[in-house]
Amino acid sequence: MLFSPISVKRICVPVLCHRTTLRFGSLAREALILQSSSSNVYENLAVEDWIHDHMDLEQKKVLFLWRNSPAVVIGRHQNPWKECNLHLMREKGIGLARRRSGGGTVFHDLGNINLTFFTSKRKYDRMENLQLVIRALKSLQPSLDVHATKRYDLLLDGKYKISGTAAKLGRTVAYHHCTLLCSADSSLLPLVLQSPYDGILSNATPSVPSLVKNLCQAHSSLTWDAVMDAVAKEYSFLYRDKPGVHVVDPSDETLFPGIAKKKKELCTWDWIYGKTPKFDVQKSFQILHKDIVVDVSLTMSIKNGYIESCSMAVPSHWLSERQCRELQDALLGSRFCPSEIVFLVTTLLRTYPDHDEVHTKWNMICEKLVSIM
């Protein structure tokens, strides 16, 4: 294993004053390296937003290093029902987040590191950043076969994706962030990034499936901390003042004024699900009731995460047209999510307190609805 003779200092940033621009301005002249002390995906995405919105990136470049507890992060213009297994994620307690940048869906855990390169828009260069990452990896293992593609992915041994890229370009500033698979849970990753839902018709940005591999499978020395240090060192080499790594707490309002508000927005249902581009659901399913197979067809339009229109075709001899219409009307305007559908159907059942047969049939339809959410 090869290490650079120059080590990068790691410093916990103290709060010296409430004027954050001055605080960060005093840390380095040309560039700044920040490392998050948090593994909360919403806090770390909020730091990205804060740096983009508040720091003078015309005068100073920033590298932000971060890791997350298990989470799936979708791109700004993606549909989570098309991109991931929401049922499994709820079962495993895996969070879902929507980032501000475009691009595809990625799985994060503590074996995956994230690098965000902030610059002015005129200095924005994704390939330059990826070449820096390649140099860092080769400083640890010179024989490593890794290269950048035209899609700005990093491939190991010519075919295994170890890094994906996304970016946000503002009016005058920009950032490029990428992942690095070091020792991520390779058994869980393909399961959560495989949507089990069919019948969803959407023009949202789709992810491009790829073969993936952890860096530690190429060499045991390529641990997340070794790789993160190597990237920080390589970045530091670019600048005369050789910036060190400053460990920051993303929840520190004295360092990042207003960041709690940014995190709160990123956690909301209306951001995570409600920003999904409009889509339709066309689904046919069968219900087995009293040894009879009942065919049901469902058509829905979902806008901003809410059910805008709903039509169900159910045999009238099994469920009356009035009862079917009541169920459809109850669903209109509700969130396209399991908990809300269950609540609405439970509320609707109270209008038929003595009709066990109707209760059974509505509950069976409700189970089918929940299965596609």
d(CA 98, CA 161): 22
Whether 49 contacts 262, CB under 8 Å: yes
pLDDT at 351: 85
**What's 306-340 look like in SS3?**
EEEEEEEECCCCCCCHHHHHHHHHHHCCCECCHHH
The predicted structure's pLDDT at residue 356:
86
Residue 26 pLDDT: 57
The percentage of the chain sitting over the pLDDT mark of 70, rounded to a whole number, equals 92
Nearest CA-CA partner of 44 in 26, 69, 61, 20: 69
Average pLDDT of the segment spanning 99-128 = 96
DSSP 38-105: ---HHHHHHHHHHHHHHS-TTT-EEEEEEE-SSEEEE-TT--HHHHS-HHHHHHHT-EEEE-SS-S--
Contacts of 324 (CB under 8 A, 6+ apart): 312, 314, 316
Contact yes or no for 123/238 (Cβ under 8 A): no
For 128-184, write each residue's pLDDT tens digit. 999 999 999 999 999 999 999 999 999 999 999 999 999 999 999 999 999 999 999
pLDDT digits (tens, 9 = 90+) for 27-51: 667 899 999 999 999 999 999 999 9
List the structure tokens of 137.
Answer: 């990896």
Amino acid at 337: C
Res 10: pLDDT = 60
Quote the tokens at residue 194.
């495989």
Average pLDDT, stretch 337-346? Answer: 92
Average of per-residue pLDDT values in the chain: 91
Q: What is the pLDDT of residue 349?
A: 86
Distance CA 17, CA 173 (A): 26
The residue-averaged pLDDT of 237-266 equals 95
In single-letter form, the type of residue at position 104 comes to G
Question: Distance between CA 128 and CA 132 in Å, rounded?
Answer: 6
Q: Which helix (H) or strand (E) holds 217?
A: helix 215-218
Q: Based on the number of CB atoms within 10 Å of its own CB, is 178 exposed (0-12), middle (13-18) or buried (19 or more)?
A: buried
DSSP 97-124: EE-SS-S--EEE-TTEEEEEEEEEGGG-
DSSP conformational letter for 5? S
